[in-house]
Amino acid sequence: MAAAMVGVCLTGIGLLHVGIAWGKRASFADDLLAVDSLIFLIAMLASYLAVRTPDARRRTWLHRLEQVADATFILAMLLLTAACFVITYAVSA
């Protein structure tokens, strides 16, 4: 899911740059989406490593990776929502 959300952020950045090229006012929404895509990438990598680590003896390490994946995914979703509000009000202004 986090990998798909990185694609959503990149699509949003592309659309914002097309709007800027057409003379629309630039906003910092593309910066928010760029940071957001990095946070989604961290969530994706933590989740992937938690699933792919074969050693069951490192349960605390796996639990920590799962916590990082959960926390970063939720943070990135909140940031994506904030970016949507910025985009909405920048376009309507």
| Structure confidence by residue, pLDDT tens digits, 5-41 | 767 776 777 776 666 665 655 567 778 888 888 998 9
Q: What is the rounded CA–CA span in Å between residue 47 and residue 40?
A: 10
| 45-72 residue pLDDT tens | 999 988 887 776 677 788 899 999 999 9
Would you state the pLDDT for residue 75?
94
- Asked if residue 74 has pLDDT above 60, the reply is yes
DSSP secondary structure, 28-87, as one string: THHHHHHHHHHHHHHHHHHHHHHHH---TT-HHHHHHHHHHHHHHHHHHHHHHHHHHHHH
42 pLDDT more than 60: yes
